[in-house]
Amino acid sequence: MARKPRQKPTPAAPEASSQQLQGNAAVAPIPSSQPIFGEPAPSPDPKAFVVKHLSDNPLYNALNKKLLQALPPPREGANLVLKLADVLGEKSVQKIQSAGRIVFHSVGDTGPIAGPENQSLVADKMVEDFKEDDPADAPSLFFHLGDVVYSFGEGKYYYDQFYEPYRNYPAPIFAIAGNHDGMVYGGDQSPTLEAFLNNFCSAAFQKRPEAGSLHRTSMIQPGVYFTLDAPFVRIIGLYSNVLEDPGVISSQGDKNSPVGDQQIAFLKDQLNAAKQYQGALLIAVHHPPFTGGSHHGGSPKMLAEIDQVCKDTGVWPHAVLSGHAHNYQRFTRTVNNHDIPFIVAGGGGHAITSLRSKKSGGPLRVPMQLAADLIFENYDDSEFGYLRIVANNYTLRMEFHAVGPSADKAGVDAVTVDLKSHTMISN
């Protein structure tokens, strides 16, 4: 069972007006010459939201649940590869390289709607990872796996669901968008992904109105799909659109689809560019290619498209990261003599969805052979948590950490991949 949330004092409300928290276009963002991450001094967790989250049931009823949304184009002239040095600076990146490894966080499905407690549990535990005897073990970034803000990615909820929960997180936060970040209901005047683009895809660092009195600046990703190039790791981020299921990254051959094939061309370019790359190569996409349980299914057409690009280029990722299903799941897929972990990390604070066996209603026994090339290795469907990922010149290690005592550094599950052989090694 998930641990009960801790109660903490409520901090002072932000100085921003309600107009600012709603991202009113009349309130201009403030340019910043440098990025700003965590607050200069830590503050306690809130007990309640500043902007009350009303019931979304009428808006869900106004959704066309089969309507895909057109892909917002990248910023004009923007390089689709964002270097970590462009955000952290060359000196910080040189320290990572000198240390011989990079550590970073990843999880999705973070935005709560009932209250801040569960997201605070995860965010607080992530912040504890910065307290290390060896500075090289502290994280350098957080790569979000989508569904940042529920229920429809509204700007007015960005303070409560993004800026405030990560106010003490002292590192940059990158993100791919999830389906909830881009959903558009009937009568909605906001274009799809408007708030996500404002807060993650700025042309320059900005102090956004949505941040209230907090200092974190917007991120400068080139668009909703991009590659993050960091020491020892490259993460290719794709946007899988707005449906509950399945994930869609292309037209899938439908001439009438609002979704184009830009991401397929982008993925092909990035894999071709990685042919001589010696570091860890990850693909991140919000909808998982496959998943256990019945709440969210897989995306076989999306997986087939990714497979085809990998076959065409001869380049396969060392791992695939997803969210969407609100729990932790780890699969091993063997393809082209590569052992590829497919990890679902969707327990970032929104909700937990249980995986239950159909016959008894009880827990599933793992490992479970699902196909000749696919094993369901492990899962955690009772606790919120996140991934702590470590990459160096030789290996990629991915650990799942459940919320718990702050002094507990042990992960619940872990997998390590040898980068050269693309095979898993003993932990």
Kindly tell me the burial class for residue 247, based on how many C-beta atoms sit within 10 Å of its own C-beta (0-12, 13-18, 19 or more).
buried
Mean pLDDT of all residues in 341-363: 88
* Type of residue found at 156: K
The answer to whether the CB of 279 falls within 8 A of the CB of 393 is yes
Which residue, chain included where needed, has tokens 């790569």? 143
Nearest 5°: CA angle at 398, between 159 and 333? 115
- Looking at residue 13, what is its pLDDT? 42
Look at 390 and 185; give whichever has higher pLDDT: 390
Residues 6+ apart with CB under 8 A from 260: 70, 71, 250, 251
Q: How confident is the model at residue 24 (pLDDT cuts 50, 70, 90)?
A: very low
Kindly list the structural domains of the chain, giving each domain's residue range(s) and its CATH number in brackets, ordered by start: 18-425 (3.60.21.10)
Q: Which residues sit opposite 415 in a β-bridge? A: 398
The answer to whether the CB of 177 falls within 8 A of the CB of 166 is no
List the structure tokens of 24: 């009113």
- Looking at residue 357, what is its pLDDT? 67
Q: Is the pTM of this model over 0.85?
A: yes
- Looking at residue 174, what is its pLDDT? 98
pLDDT digits 0-9 by tens, 189-232 = 889 999 999 999 999 999 999 999 999 999 999 999 999 999 99
Length of the chain counted residue by residue: 427
DSSP strand pairing (368-371 vs 233-238): unpaired
Look at 90 and 7; give whichever has higher pLDDT: 90
The answer to whether the CB of 186 falls within 8 A of the CB of 64 is yes
- Looking at residue 217, what is its pLDDT? 98
Mean pLDDT of all residues in 143-169: 97
How far is the C-alpha of 107 from the C-alpha of 175, rounded, in Å? 10
- Looking at residue 362, what is its pLDDT? 80
- Return the sign of the alpha-carbon dihedral for residues 240, 285, 217, 157: positive
Strand, helix or coil for residue 157: helix
- Looking at residue 151, what is its pLDDT? 94
pLDDT digits 0-9 by tens, 225-272 = 999 999 999 999 999 999 999 999 999 999 999 999 999 999 999 999
Least Cα distance to 174 among 209, 219, 222 occurs for 219
Residues 6+ apart with CB under 8 A from 15: 212, 213
How far is the C-alpha of 162 from the C-alpha of 386, rounded, in Å? 16
- Looking at residue 9, what is its pLDDT? 36
Mean pLDDT of all residues in 160-170: 98
Least confident of 22-26, 47-51, 138-142, 168-172: 22-26
Mean pLDDT of all residues in 394-420: 90
Q: How confident is the model at residue 164 (pLDDT cuts 50, 70, 90)?
A: very high
CA distances from 124 to 43, 102, 128, 210, 417 (A): 11, 21, 6, 21, 28
Helical spans, DSSP H, in 18-156: 18-21, 57-61, 85-88, 90-99, 117-128
Predicted confidence (pLDDT) at residue 359 exceeds the cutoff of 90: no
- Looking at residue 301, what is its pLDDT? 97
Predicted confidence (pLDDT) at residue 376 exceeds the cutoff of 50: yes
How far is the C-alpha of 288 from the C-alpha of 296, rounded, in Å? 9
